[in-house]
Amino acid sequence: MRPSDLRLRGAVPCRMQLLAALILIVVWSTTALAINWSVQGLAYPAALFGRFSLAAMVALLLMLALYRRALPGGRAWRAYLTAGLGTSLSMLCTYWASRHVSSGMVAVLFGLIPLSTALFARLWLGERLARHELAGIMLGLGGLVAIFWERLSLAPDGLPALLVVLLAVALQSGAAVRLKPYGQGLPALAVNAGALLVCAVLTGALWLAHGAPALWQAPPRTVGAVLYLALVGSVLAFSLYYWLIRECRPGQVAVLSLLSPAAALWLGHVLNDETVSTRMMAGTALILAGLVLHQRHALRHWRG
């Protein structure tokens, strides 16, 4: 059986793409809190390795159950390596830099992903960024700055960490663009399973380099967070993410990163009684306006 034989037949309705995007926003909005919980009482190399090793096993089992075979080989490994290296290295950079850079700064810098994705797409895929898309991205980035203005701080020695976060942004957006041609004809679950296997190997090496800290002595909430990140944040969310990259332009998928930080704050208000400020409401309005402007043609298509 060829890799292309594993792909589901028929065109996928645009409403399915919208549903996948909404699920991604919800999952990504809860990821920051889950990551925070996952490293409470557990060294971050152990948390990362636990997440990716469990996710890789589940994804491979799903491949066997749904497609009656393991991973497609041959050229498919270019997709696995591209996605796996991009994800694991970007996350390692983010975890390391978060010790010196505020969460607000990280959120705003990750808001640059649509711009960096557009740059890589222009260089590697020949895609041009329309004026309304650029305007939408700038509106969304302005909304992120408005929301996280009070959290835009650096530690005294935070400049190297700032550069590392920018490297994480470049790695994630570059990998998404590179994956576009490599992932064609492959099911998203296969790309995700292969990528998670690469992530498990790399984070396993990091775990061993840090003395293999124990995975089984963590508090229950920490274990629950690792399970959530593995099953929902990695198996489900990354499969949807790779599917959207295959079906849409990389820039259309990247723009979701503008909405997730704001959605995370609103979830904190609903679930944790956190205060909603005027600046937060104004920033959210800017992000939504930018998202609508960036996606105006797609929204017309979905509505039809």
- In tens, the pLDDT along 153-198 reads 766 667 788 888 899 999 999 999 999 999 888 999 999 999 999 9
Tell whether 2 is covered by a domain: no
Tell whether 277 is covered by a domain: yes
Please give the average per-residue pLDDT across 206-220, as a whole number: 89
CA atoms lying within 13 Å on the CB side of residue 29? 20
Tell whether 208 is covered by a domain: yes
Planar angle of CA 37, 40, 45, nearest 5 degrees: 95
Tell whether 225 is covered by a domain: yes
Burial 219-257 (b: 16+ CB within 10 A, else e): eeebbebbbbbbbbbbbbbbbbbbbbbbbbbbbbbbbbb
Spatial CB neighbours of 136, under 8 Å, sequence gap ≥ 6: 255, 289, 290, 291, 292, 293, 294, 295
Tell whether 5 is covered by a domain: no
How many domains does the chain fold into? 1
Q: What is the dihedral sign for C-alpha 274, 261, 237, 42? A: negative
Tell whether 261 is covered by a domain: yes
Which tokens is 239 given?
A: 């499969």
- In angstroms, the CA 48 to CA 85 distance is 14
Domain of residue 271 covers: 13-303
Tell whether 255 is covered by a domain: yes
Per-residue pLDDT of 77-121, as tens digits, reads 999 999 999 999 998 898 788 777 776 677 778 888 888 888 899
Confidence band, pLDDT 50/70/90 cuts, at residue 237 = very high
- In angstroms, the CA 9 to CA 19 distance is 19
Tell whether 180 is covered by a domain: yes
Residue 143: its pLDDT value, please?
87
Q: Which residue type does 132 have?
A: H
